Amino acid sequence: MSKKPSIVKGTRDFLPDVMAKRNYIFGTIKSVFEKYGFLPIETPSMETTETLMGKYGEEGDRLIFRILNSGDKLGKADAAALKEDNLAKFANSISDKALRYDLTVPFARFVVMNQNDLSFPFKRYQIQPVWRADRPQKGRYREFYQCDADVVGSDSLLYEVELVQIFDEALSNLGLTDFSIKINNRKILSGIAEVCGESEKIVPITVAIDKLDKIGKDGVVSELKERGISSAAIEKIDPLFQLNGSNQQKLDQLKDFLKESEVGLTGIEELEYVIEEATDLGLSQAKLEFEVTLARGLNYYTGAIFEVAANNVKIGSICGGGRYDDLTSLFGLDGMSGVGISFGADRIFDVMTELNLFPESALTATQVLFINFGEKEQKQSMIYAKELRSNGISCEVYPTDAKMKKQMKYANDRNIPFVVMIGSKELQEGRITFKNMVSGEQKEGDLKQLLTQFK
């Protein structure tokens, strides 16, 4: 007796109908990336522990899936470390590699290793799965795909503008009509900490104000206290909660708040430029919103910070991104500024499912089914099928002369829009009968007439 099989928590099988939709998402995003001149690369699923650990903060390290050493190597386990309760050291003695946690850090490693073969600024895109040992929830998986586009080797703000355009174009092309690209700048956050006289505590400060939406002003204030921010500093932060109006109005209010901070003002200048340029060029469906509280991925972002949220869908952010000046320096290459974005394909899938945004055309693979009436008829069908295929039309011949009802049902279940019948009568007359499965309309004719249906 074999046990019932199962799959790992937080992972999924994808059936053909789901794959069709996923490929539609990947294809749409990919074509936008390519339109902006990004080139594809891939990196291995696993990286050395050294490459990954320490790049995402303490929380991140906990969420990295580690891969157990095999064979003799496993015998070198550091039992002493285990006894001493030094789990990190013990883990390192039995595991020297791990599954990638995102695509950005492996990309930084890739750039450093391949710098002599790349010309800069280097624009790449990468669509691959990543793994996180997180506790699954809705829209939150342990294996999911990221679609990343990054530019490395230029600090031009032109790229920030381009990436905003890419967010807008890709998501609009997918049929989303109500989403917000939220934008902030790490320099503004640094400025805020500086003005408050708590430059050291920028991380706890931003982590706390990032939650404003969720826990409200009082919640943020009490969290700031808990994190050891002085009450004088908390008072100074107060004006941030009062920001209101348009993007420009908010920036103007902030300009006053940050007038003593050079970095802060630089951040505002950068943001103003990006917002102005993107607005002038025009966005299709996206709303571009400046949000001071946005503090994603603080561990390596140094300039712009992006996040995209689908409005009216209860799911976390569907995209993220930002600029990171020092990322490759972690691997020994200085002076390489990078900026990039990431689409969360699985969450976009969930949003599109909820809003019913997949077009019928994304679900149809086979265009024509030939009904099988017997040996001779099948041979003729195969000849015609070959001709249709050479015209770029996907088609298939039913494999046996099963009952017609069964064959028709097969076409119906698979959403095949046309059925061709070549029975003894058609065979004799050298003609075909074709039926439109949507309208139910049926015609007699030849293959050319069928071909006109696809023009």
Partner RNA sequence: GUGGUUGUAGCUCAGUUGGUUAGAGCGCCUGAUUGUGGUUCAGGAGGUCGUCGGUUCGAACCCGAUCUUCCACCCCA
Footprint of RNA (CB under 7 A): 1, 4, 6, 8-10, 56-57, 59-60, 62-63, 102, 132, 134-142, 144, 146, 207, 211, 214, 296-299, 307, 316-320, 342, 344, 346-347, 373, 403-406, 408-409, 411-413, 419, 421, 423-426, 433, 435, 437-440, 442
* Strand (E) or helix (H) holding 224: helix 212-226
Bridge partners of 99?
46
Amino acid at 45: S
Q: How far is the CB of 423 from RNA (least distance, A)?
A: 2
Of the pair 386, 443, the CB lying nearest RNA is at 443
Only one residue has tokens 């943001």, namely: 271
Q: How far is the CB of 241 from RNA (least distance, A)?
A: 18
Q: How far is the CB of 298 from RNA (least distance, A)?
A: 7
Of the pair 405, 455, the CB lying nearest RNA is at 405
Rounded Cα gap, residues 358 and 24, in angstroms: 8
Alpha carbon separation from 308 to 149, 164, 368 (Å, rounded): 15, 10, 40
Task: Give the CA angle between residues 355, 360, 366 to the nearest 5°.
Answer: 145
Rounded Cα gap, residues 240 and 250, in angstroms: 9
Of the pair 171, 278, the CB lying nearest RNA is at 171
Q: How far is the CB of 435 from RNA (least distance, A)?
A: 5
Of the pair 245, 399, the CB lying nearest RNA is at 399
Rounded Cα gap, residues 400 and 413, in angstroms: 17
- In terms of Cβ atoms closer than 10 Å to its own Cβ (0-12, 13-18, 19+), residue 440 is exposed
Q: How far is the CB of 256 from RNA (least distance, A)?
A: 29
Of the pair 260, 354, the CB lying nearest RNA is at 354
Strand order in the sheet with 442-445: 395-397, 368-371, 418-421, 432-436, 442-445
* Strand (E) or helix (H) holding 255: helix 247-257
Q: How far is the CB of 248 from RNA (least distance, A)?
A: 26
Rounded Cα gap, residues 154 and 336, in angstroms: 7
Of the pair 272, 426, the CB lying nearest RNA is at 426
Of the pair 138, 386, the CB lying nearest RNA is at 138
Q: How far is the CB of 259 from RNA (least distance, A)?
A: 29
Write the CB contacts of 260 (distance below 8 Å, at least 6 apart in sequence): 194, 195
